[in-house]
Amino acid sequence: MLSIRNRQFIKNSKPFFYYADTCWSAFTNINESDWNYYLDYREQQGFNVIQINILKQWDASGMDLNIYPFEISKNDNGYSFDYSKINTAYFDRAEKMLADMKRHHMIPALVLLWSNYVPGTWASKLARNNMFTFNELSHYVEYVTKRFKKFNPIYFISGDTDFPTEETNKYYREVLKTAKENDPDALYSFHIKGRFSDVPEEFLSQMDFFSYQSGHNIDGQATAHTIPTNERAKFSGPIINTEPCYDQISYSRNKYGRFSSHDVRSAAWRSVLSGANAGITYGAHGIWSWHHTGASFGVVAGEGFDVPFDWHDALHFRGATDLAFLKQTMLNTFPNGCRPTNIQLNHNDEIRSATNPEQSCYLVYLPTNTELDISPLGLDQNNAKITIFDLQKRIQLQGRWSTPSIIGLPTCLEDVLVKIEKQEG
């Protein structure tokens, strides 16, 4: 079971870096053999958390398992659930999948209520389903938290949500209250919509960690670092970017283009060095929706994403191993956590840096390779040892100085991580 110490997660008395894969549609879309193959592969890559939506997600890829959490009726416009009639076979299957996760040493991060089930949210206007019946909320939440408690899950009260109305907040208030009554030892948060950070104080005060998403809008990628920078002024616990841009997802709003592994690294490194250092998540376009070639996908009027890759291909995108390197680097460099410096380097806010509590070691991330002036950190060649990491090739290089305070241009073609160790005397 996870606990919290200051800005870190702790497991078995040791720092735990939350490294999650995003597989929202696992319970509705994945068969047993594929699930175990997926878990085997992700465990080898170093993942320790899987993020899953308990309910059917509105923009999941088409599937042929035909299994749903409640009694369902379909029509040409979508589907309706009878929320008073829980399908126990669905949750029997989900429980078995969670047991498989436990055998793979992974923690489930489960979303109790995705925003397309909640009145007033942005997704409620696009949902294919009927809204959840308020009177059935506590029954459903009590049922799942009692069943899943033995797996020591993390819970997201919401998924991809905003908080536009009192009715919306009433739903989340009921879910949070019921969940904590039935599993008081679990950790709770809200998975809020992309580039959004305004959580009502009543919920912010009950969150064990702050979860945000910089998301998939090409024009909003700066939020990877601006949101945690701003949240650190009012939230003292762990912060995680639980949905940076997915590997090979298209730009939202029907814009032409896809996010590359470089984009994924950039969002992730800027997040963890700007205050969201309790962990990071990864998503591949084809895994989160569990897509098969030729299957239906999404709602064009929604986020407007281009077709995903088949999950067999998406499983092997390189971003997963890039972020596994990030995880290990953060644990090795900052075992006791870190603090963002919030010092601008090279007159560029996208270059992010953090230091350990003793201020004896720094990591600096450059999204684009360039010479780096570290004098604003009070460092130069007389008191600093430098190591360069080429993140595209995942290799270590020897750094060099072009002036006493400027690190020379490394032979790297994309992004660069600079480790600076302060020397005494």
Q: What is the pLDDT of residue 252?
A: 85
- Give the Cα separation of 406 and 371 in Å (integer): 7
DSSP symbol at 246 = P
Q: Has residue 416 got a pLDDT over 70? A: yes
- Give the Cα separation of 39 and 49 in Å (integer): 11
Q: What is the pLDDT of residue 255?
A: 87
CB neighbour class for 110 (10 Å; exposed up to 12, middle 13-18, buried from 19)? buried
pLDDT band at residue 296 under the 50/70/90 scheme = confident
pLDDT band at residue 323 under the 50/70/90 scheme = very high
Q: What is the pLDDT of residue 21?
A: 98
The domain limits of the chain are 3-333, 341-422
Q: What is the pLDDT of residue 75?
A: 84
Please give the CATH topology (third level) of the domain spanning 3-333.
TIM Barrel (3.20.20)
Please give the CATH topology (third level) of the domain spanning 341-422.
Immunoglobulin-like (2.60.40)
Whole-prediction pTM: 0.96
> Which pair of structure tokens corresponds to residue 245?
């841009």
Beta strands 107-114 and 18-22 are unpaired
Instruction: Convert the pLDDT of each residue in 50-105 to its tens digit.
Output: 999 999 988 889 988 999 999 999 888 789 999 999 999 999 999 999 999 999 99
Q: What is the pLDDT of residue 299?
A: 56
Instruction: Convert the pLDDT of each residue in 200-252 to its tens digit.
Output: 999 999 999 999 999 999 999 999 999 999 999 989 999 999 999 999 999 98
- Give the Cα separation of 53 and 48 in Å (integer): 17
Instruction: Convert the pLDDT of each residue in 392-406 to its tens digit.
Output: 999 999 999 999 999
Instruction: Convert the pLDDT of each residue in 179-196 to its tens digit.
Output: 999 999 999 999 999 999
Q: Has residue 259 got a pLDDT over 90? A: yes
Q: Has residue 23 got a pLDDT over 60? A: yes
Q: What is the pLDDT of residue 303?
A: 64
Q: Has residue 29 got a pLDDT over 80? A: yes
- Give the Cα separation of 421 and 385 in Å (integer): 5
> SS3 for 169?
helix
∠40-44-47 over CA atoms, to 5°?
Answer: 95
Least confident of 38-42, 303-307, 403-407: 303-307
Instruction: Convert the pLDDT of each residue in 124-173 to its tens digit.
Output: 988 889 999 999 999 999 999 999 999 999 999 999 999 999 999 999 99
- Give the Cα separation of 317 and 293 in Å (integer): 16
pLDDT > 70: what percent of the chain?
Answer: 98
Q: Has residue 115 got a pLDDT over 70? A: yes
Mean of pLDDT values over 371-383:
97
Least confident of 119-128, 298-307, 313-322: 298-307
Mean of pLDDT values over 104-113:
98
Q: What is the pLDDT of residue 302?
A: 54
Q: What is the pLDDT of residue 304?
A: 73
pLDDT band at residue 7 under the 50/70/90 scheme = very high
Q: What is the pLDDT of residue 236?
A: 95
> SS3 for 32?
helix
Beta strands 3-5 and 279-282 are unpaired
Q: What is the overall mean pLDDT for the chain? A: 96
Q: What is the pLDDT of residue 425?
A: 63
Q: Give the sign of the dihedral formed by CA 111, CA 23, CA 36, CA 18.
A: negative
Beta strands 49-53 and 18-22 are parallel
Least confident of 273-287, 288-302, 357-371, 374-388: 288-302
Distance between first and last Cα of the chain: 44
CB neighbour class for 364 (10 Å; exposed up to 12, middle 13-18, buried from 19)? buried
Q: What is the pLDDT of residue 253?
A: 81
